Amino acid sequence: MNNPSPPSPSPTKSSTLAGNYFISNYPPFSFWGEDQKVEVELALDSEPAPGAKLGVYHHIPFCRKRCHFCYFRVYTDKNAKEIQAYLDTTMVELKALAERPLIRGRKPHFVYFGGGTPSYLSAKQLTELTDRMKAILPWDEAEEIAFEGEPGTLNAAKLAAIKQVGVTRLSLGVEHFDDHVLEINGRAHRSGEVYTAYERARAENFAQINIDLIAGMVEETEALWQRNIEETIKLRPDSVTIYQMEVPYNTTIYKEMKAEGKLVAPVADWQTKRRWVKEAFAALESSGYTVKSGYTAVLNPSRTKFVYRDELWSGADLLGLGVASFSHAAGVHYQNLTELEPYMAAVAAGEPPVKRAFRTSPEERMIREFILQMKLGHVNLGYFTEKFGVDIAQRFASQLEHLSAESLLNVGKDEVKLSRDGLLCVDTLLHEFFLQQHRTTQIV
Ligand code: SF4
């Protein structure tokens, strides 16, 4: 006879329930629609705003294995020929975009390879892909080329190729240093591969090496989390990014919860995860790091930048290439088709491979930039007066007063500054600044 499953705990205010916690854009994706696809064409046919920066995001949707907490569009069964066909399609997409009035003649200020697993590509595929991208939109003025790498895919030749194509920031998806935690969460790599990849990457002299961690993975413990912090500090990366574990609906973890009738995810509650990040930030600060956002600490703030993040959060145009990619063009948000075959078929037919879009109003753009910049821990009030003609202290007076009374932030003459506790739960606070019609319930 099988042992019965342990009873599911009752949800508390702080329990990790299924759903997205992290806010990456505004208005929320659920408000974007197929009926606004025409807005993308209008945006791409318009002239760029004076001084607007341009970025390119290339989505590589292939991974060795699907992590149990992953909700991205990823494929684990594609062969080299299929991957090449996908890369070819993204270049057709880029070429068509580069000829549109919004993009013509502009050069990217930043380029980001995300996934999926960009380092799943072979050195040859990567070199050919980037040569083709540069021939369409030259990178010679780009301040940052960022690249996400899965440690187990980073052999010496590949790292040399990643460096050679011009990558300035290599972000290592370490997530955890304990092999059992990595295994139980479905990660493809183990800690041995992290140390080897890190050493090889250092030997390549990347301008910035970032380590990604997740606080509160399945079977995380106090002792294991402390060890994560210690191991990270020993490696001394240029920057560290820490996310608090969330369990979105289409993850393997959620499917198991649903099958077992559980409401609470089998991970630490939000209070514990926040405390873990707080402890990690404190330890990093004692070792010379500076906390630069709700998720990042950097060793040398004058040298180490996150250009992609900062430009995106200040309204830059972003061309998202590939399946399911997100773009922002002249005030219009859009997402590409989210399945590989329809995406490739649309590009081959010369049609925009767009699934849904949303044209933002000036007020929504102001709110978007405000809430995204709040994640940095401080917002410059003069920036909003100058760019949007809005006095933030007045516009959001009641929300700021309420959050200030809770000691989560402070409103000064020139800036709104979050306290460390406010910064650690910033994604929860941001809902207060949404327009009424965009608010959804969140209890974390
Ligand atoms: S490596 Fe990243 S994109 Fe790939 S399955 Fe894991 S979490 Fe998802």
Of ligand 1's atoms, which has the minimum distance to the CA of residue 186?
6
| Atom number in ligand 1 closest to CA 150 | 1
Cα(188) to ligand 1 centroid in Å equals: 9
**Of 143-152, 246-255, 285-294, 338-347, where does mean pLDDT reach its minimum?**
246-255
Give the whole-angstrom CA distance, residue 257 versus residue 251: 10
Percent of the chain's residues with pLDDT above 90: 88
Distance from the alpha carbon of residue 135 to the mean position of ligand 1, in angstroms: 29
Q: Is pLDDT at 2 greater than 80 in this prediction?
A: no
Query: How close is the Cα of 433 to the center of ligand 1, in Å?
Result: 31
The predicted-structure confidence for 221-276, as pLDDT tens digits, reads as follows 999 999 999 999 999 999 999 999 998 888 999 899 898 888 888 888 999 999 99
Residue tagged 């940095």 (tokens): 376
User: Average pLDDT in the 407-428 region?
Assistant: 96
Q: How many CB atoms lie within 10 A of CB 20?
A: 16
Q: What is the mean pLDDT of residues 352-381?
A: 98
For the Cβ of 66 lying below 6 angstroms from any atom of ligand 1, the answer is yes
> What is the helix (H) or strand (E) element at residue 240, kind and residue range?
strand 239-244
Contacts of 397 (CB under 8 A, 6+ apart): none
115 lines ligand 1 (CB under 6 A): yes
Q: Give the pLDDT confidence score for residue 13 in this predicted structure.
A: 66
The stretches of 173-269 forming alpha helices (DSSP H) are 179-184, 191-203, 222-235, 252-259
- Name the least confident of 1-10, 284-293, 383-392, 409-418: 1-10
Arithmetic mean of pLDDT, 352-377: 98
Predicted local confidence at residue 132, as pLDDT? 98
Q: What is the CA(73)–ligand 1 centre distance, in A?
A: 9
Tens digit of each residue's pLDDT (9 = 90 or more) over 39-84: 999 999 999 999 999 999 999 999 999 999 999 889 999 999 999 9
Full-model pTM: 0.95
Ligand 1 pocket check for 152: Cβ under 6 Å: no
Mean pLDDT for the chain overall: 94
Helices (H), 23-178: 37-44, 80-98, 123-136, 156-164
Burial environment of residue 205 by CB neighbours within 10 A (0 to 12, 13 to 18, 19 or more): exposed
Residue 66 CA to ligand 1 center (angstroms) comes to 6
Minimum CA distance residue for ligand 1 atom 8: 70
Which residue's CA is minimally distant from atom 2 of ligand 1?
116
Residue type, 206: F
d(CA 73, CA 351): 21
What residue owns the CA closest to ligand 1's atom 3?
116
